Structure 1
């Protein structure tokens, strides 16, 4: 893909991100702590559903949704330290593993009872259990699912992940008087929400401490994608291969998650000059806002209607499980 082909969509995402950052600085919105990331994704959704976007934007929007988002997540590590990561400890990794396993198992069980094919159950389950659209797209080549089924799964997890992104900060307002801390809220959001980008928005909507805890929890969950894909590939091999035969499988490793950990280590070392550190943080905010804008520009409600009710019902039931069952796992292990 040539850089020239990416330019229109990339500029659209960056301009929408800059507009969102400017709006977030207005007195009323700033007083209510409205996140520029939230403004960027909502603005993108409105624009995408009010008018038909030029086809020439698609390469740049894809670049923004994938590479810019991953670069932004890696640079987000500049706001964190190894001490904070160590403070989360194995307890958070256990929460992530329990949420992942229970959600994926429930997807297989519920999906078959709803009359869905196995590929759809696996794709929707992976997207809900791990990291949204990225997990769906990483799982698709492992099980050799069709692009249509992957598109339906992505539509479902983006829809309910967007609902969670708006719902979780409101829930924090209800539960904070009962003793829910920003750190505890961050672990809840990171371990139960779908997309990395949506976790960033939901965390920043509450506070910097919540955002730090949410992103670290989510990135530990993203790193579970690699062993998940290896286990899934082994199971798929046994199901489709003839005795003594091996079928080639493509597995995508989420390297950006390891880059995120490396940048946390760099930030903890104190080697970065203050001026460079601040400049990289400004760049990080712009990259994340551009990724949010691109994600919003790719969300079309018509595609959700075409998907039919069964896949969306499965995605909805898994969303309820993440909220209630995942919340219960968090409560038991964080109490």
Structure 2
């Protein structure tokens, strides 16, 4: 396992750098969980005690370290570049997708709160990274995380083929359309890929707007943890099990603040960003290795239905709000 885990992570990281993967917006995180699941299900190994410890360390400690270091991608100055309208658009998208997603998943489709929240937050904020950041406050099962990540991969990839078609049906400039892409696409890698399909201006504004959504991850995780605990108390009729306070989220905020106030050397910043990606990739690999396809089949079609509805809301509702603001 000491060789297998980093080997799978390195392969996923390398595959994500290939041209075809970048064109499809497939980053290292979804690659890692897919490869981990394939290996784990093909060989169904029995892990030794030390291997179990390594997997648990990757799923928990490395996950939190990766989220903290992920803040090195972001600066507060990026908020200014696309204007207040982009911030409002991102906020409306996040709030509407999370609230409607919860209502549809729990009330209409009868899904568990955990799968519903993970699926919704992946669509609302920043895909697999948001799902990983939310998992600790929900104490979600690994198959629930994998189901949510799978929906992000499916509909995030599908969106890449929709944006060029939508662009030709609107009279928006490429830079303005890039803001629409950044406020509605699932993953950061997908924002780059979708923007590149239009032009350089679209890619730049898409990436900045998407990173602005990523900055909102910290308050979203805190609020979700608080609301989830309240829902537990109301449902169970008494005090629920304590929800772990997401201290790593404040580390994420501190990293963003540091990156905004201090001009870090380029080599150091790049090292932090690569370290963040590697840590999250290993966390995803560990999740995949312990996830069985049978557990995913038990989830049924409901998560895909929910994600499809949120996909329509992102593309249609996001464009409508964009038109109103711009």
| TM-score between both structures, scaled by the size of structure 2 | 0.73
Deviates more, 1:212-221 or 1:12-21: 212-221
- Tell me whether 1:262 sits opposite 2:254 in the alignment: yes
* 1:68 and 1:291 in contact (8 A); partners too: yes
How far apart in 2 are the matches of 1:318 and 1:238?
24
* 2:93 and 2:184 in contact (8 A); partners too: no
Q: 2:152 maps to which residue?
A: 161
How far apart in 1 are the matches of 2:112 and 2:236?
17
Task: Quote the offset at 1:323 in angstroms.
Answer: 0.4
Q: 1:214 maps to which residue?
A: 210
- Tell me whether 1:319 sits opposite 2:322 in the alignment: no
* 1:229 and 1:251 in contact (8 A); partners too: yes
Task: Quote the offset at 1:98 in angstroms.
Answer: 1.3
Structure 1 residue ranges without an equivalent (≥5): 1-7, 113-119, 141-146, 194-198
* 1:93 and 1:221 in contact (8 A); partners too: no
* 2:58 and 2:282 in contact (8 A); partners too: yes
1:55 is paired with a residue of what secondary structure? coil
How far apart in 2 are the matches of 1:136 and 1:30?
26
Task: Quote the offset at 1:228 in angstroms.
Answer: 3.2
Deviations 1:210-257 (A, max 9, x none): 45543541452553233233234334434543xxxx625412333333
Task: Quote the offset at 1:136 in angstroms.
Answer: 5.6
1:250 is paired with a residue of what secondary structure? coil
Go from structure 1 to structure 2 and tell me whether the alpha carbon gap of 1:237 and 1:275 turns closer, same or farther (over 3 Å shift): closer
| TM-score between both structures, scaled by the size of structure 1 | 0.72
Q: 2:54 maps to which residue?
A: 60
Structure 2 residue ranges without an equivalent (≥5): 122-129, 197-202
Task: Quote the offset at 1:104 in angstroms.
Answer: 0.4
Equivalent residue runs for 1:65-214 within 5 Å: 65-86=59-80, 87=83, 88-112=86-110, 120-130=111-121, 131-132=130-131, 135=134, 138-139=137-138, 150=141, 153-178=144-169, 181-189=177-185, 193=186, 199-203=187-191, 205-206=193-194, 209=204, 210=206, 213-214=209-210
How far apart in 1 are the matches of 2:208 and 2:290?
27
Go from structure 1 to structure 2 and tell me whether the alpha carbon gap of 1:133 and 1:176 turns closer, same or farther (over 3 Å shift): same
How far apart in 1 are the matches of 2:24 and 2:108?
39
Aligned residues: 295
Go from structure 1 to structure 2 and tell me whether the alpha carbon gap of 1:175 and 1:49 turns closer, same or farther (over 3 Å shift): farther
Equivalent residue runs for 1:229-244 within 5 Å: 229-241=225-237
Go from structure 1 to structure 2 and tell me whether the alpha carbon gap of 1:68 and 1:168 turns closer, same or farther (over 3 Å shift): farther
* 2:119 and 2:151 in contact (8 A); partners too: no
Task: Quote the offset at 1:85 in angstroms.
Answer: 3.3
